[in-house]
Amino acid sequence: MGSVVRAAAAALVFVALESAATAQMESCNGELPPVLAANYSGLACQPVWNNFVLRYHQDKNNVLRVVLSSMYSTGWVGMGFSRDGLMIGSSAMVGWIGKKGLPHIRQFALRGKSSSKVVVDRGFLVSNDHDHTVVVQQAKIYLAFQLKFSYRLTHQHIIMAFGNSIPVKNKLTRHQDKTSFTFDFTTGRASVDGSFPYGLRRAHGALNVFAWGVLMPIGAILARYFRRVDPLWFYLHVGLQFVGFIIGLAGVVAGVALYSKIQADIPAHRGLGIFVFFLSILQILAFFLRPNADSKYRKYWNWYHHWAGRLALFFAAVNIVLGIHVGGADSSWKIGYGFNLAVILVAVIALEFMLWTRWSKNSTSTPTY
**Model pLDDT for residues 243-297, shown as the tens digit of each residue:** 999 999 999 999 998 887 766 668 899 999 999 999 999 998 988 888 888 888 8
Residue type, 118: V
Q: Where in the chain is the domain with CATH 2.60.40.1210?
A: 34-191
- Grade residue 1 by pLDDT with cuts at 50, 70 and 90: very low
For residues 114 and 88, the answer to whether their CB atoms sit within 8 Å is: no
Of the ranges 17-21, 79-83, 259-263, 288-292, the best mean pLDDT one? 79-83
Look at residue 196 in the predicted model and tell me its pLDDT. 60
For residues 142 and 68, the answer to whether their CB atoms sit within 8 Å is: yes
**Model pLDDT for residues 239-248, shown as the tens digit of each residue:** 999 999 999 9
Domain 197-361, CATH among 3.30.70.100, 3.20.20.210, 1.25.40.10, 1.20.120.1770 = 1.20.120.1770
Mean pLDDT of 220-237: 91
- Which positions make up the binding site for heme b? 204, 237, 269, 305
Q: Where in the chain is the domain with CATH 1.20.120.1770?
A: 197-361
Strand order in the sheet with 177-184: 118-120, 103-110, 90-97, 76-82, 155-163, 177-184, 189-192
CATH placement of domain 34-191: 2.60.40.1210
For residues 134 and 143, the answer to whether their CB atoms sit within 8 Å is: yes
Task: With a cut of 60, say whether residue 47 has pLDDT above it.
Answer: yes
pTM of this structure: 0.52
Give the 3-state secondary structure percentages of the chain, helix then strand then coil, rounded to 5: 50, 25, 25
- Which positions make up the binding site? 204, 237, 269, 305
**How many percent of the chain have pLDDT more than 70?**
87
